[in-house]
Amino acid sequence: MKLDWWLTGICASRVFNGLVFMTYAAAVPVLQKEWQMSGLAAGSIASGFQLGYAVSLVAFSTLSDRISPKLLYLFSMSFSALCSLCFAAFARSYLSALLLYTAVGIALGGTYTTALIILSDRYPEKQRGMAIGFFIASTSLGYAFSLLLSGIALPVGGYKLSFLLTCLGPFVGSILAWITLYRTHVPAARHREGRTFTKEVLGNRPARLLISGYTFHSWELLGMWAWTPAFLSSCLAVGGKGGLAAAGLGAYASSLFHATGLIASFSMGALSDRLGRAQVIIMLSAISTLCSFLFGWAIGWPFMVIIGIGLIYGFSSLGDSPVFSAALTETVHPAYLGAAFGLRSFLGFGAGAISPIVFGVVLDWTNPSLSEHMGYTTWGWAYGILGMGGLGALWTGVMLSRGKIPE
């Protein structure tokens, strides 16, 4: 399947929308010092974003079975542009950042599953894995650009300039979305006669396993995304480089991980079209779990070795996301697909909202005496907590391979 103009437009809008997703994570090393935040407080802002995102996903996913996903998507894109600009202008303390970044998460929540439903309506099953893979890959590209912009802006103008540059992205993304979808017809509702949510989703074993696997996957992935720029900054500080320079370089390095995630998204989605969804889930979750248990203990190792592990980590932890999504569209009746995505999103992003907080608590607990210049020096236990999610995703992949799932 070629990347047609329509898919290019949707993906481009997602790239710009993705610029705001990593702006806070990139600035955590700086904000912890300027706003005097503990690991728990720093993690709670990331978790507020994920919680708002999860609640919004449930609402918009459920509505998309009754209202045109196109209208919901365009509304959310426009609302996210407004909230992002407010975050850039007014987030100047822990409390204001917590409230405003949560609002950004709520706004952005309506842009994900609605887009997946639009894609599933437009592309047949044989092309769906690749189409969804391109869309999720464009998200990773947006995250990578977010970290690159932050890496440039933090040493020059601190977090205020970083927030400003990245938060302009959703404004551009919303314009592109309106241009692309203006003439696109998307059904407003689907026939439900003789079908119930209990039967089509809760009573559907493959769907239950896919939703469970995505929840475990999100615990690992979103916790890793929230804290890896700060981890890399600490690695650089241990090597003698600190302050804004370390934060900027940490953001730069993290962008490479998202670049590998970009490659993984479209390549693994396409691979699962050929080899089967369960097989690709098993392979990627096994690798990401190993990386979770290893990555945090690598502090103090040569920085290029850490980067090498991180590239594999970024590839494997995101690569199964389009696979889980494509498989769910193939196991749930279209009339309840929005509701199924809503349940999955609530559980998945709910787990992703909790994991950065748990990560921060473990980080504080295992680093009782912080170095003023190096910050946290023990990260292995915190990343190990994320690895438990990888193990859960691996288990669901094995269970899916033993049952009936689209190949």
pLDDT tens digit sequence for 374-406: 467 889 999 999 999 999 999 999 999 987 554
Angle at 155 between CA 102 and CA 97, to 5 degrees: 15
Per-residue pLDDT at 369 exceeds 80: no
Which fold is adopted by the domain 5-188+196-402? Growth Hormone; Chain: A; (1.20.1250)
- Report the pLDDT averaged over residues 117-125: 84
Residue whose pair of structure tokens reads 């040493």 in the numeric block: 155
For the stretch 54-77, pLDDT in tens is 889 888 888 887 888 899 999 999
> Which of 55-64, 193-202, 316-325 is the most confident on average?
316-325
Rounded to two decimals, the pTM is 0.79
Per-residue pLDDT at 323 exceeds 90: yes
Task: Identify any residues that bridge with 375 across adjacent strands, giving them in sequence order.
Answer: 371
> CA 319 to CA 324: how far, in whole Å?
10
User: Which pLDDT score is estimated for 384?
Assistant: 97
Per-residue pLDDT at 192 exceeds 70: no
Confidence of residue 188 (pLDDT cuts 50, 70, 90): low
User: Which pLDDT score is estimated for 145?
Assistant: 92
| % of the chain with per-residue pLDDT over 90 | 50
> CA 260 to CA 272: how far, in whole Å?
17
Q: Which range, of 47-56, 76-85, 213-222, 297-306, averages the lowest pLDDT?
A: 47-56
Q: How many residues does the chain have?
A: 407
Residue 149 vs residues 73, 222, 250, 392: alpha-carbon distances, Å = 26, 20, 12, 34
Per-domain residue ranges for the chain? Answer: 5-188+196-402
Angle at 219 between CA 323 and CA 196, to 5 degrees: 60
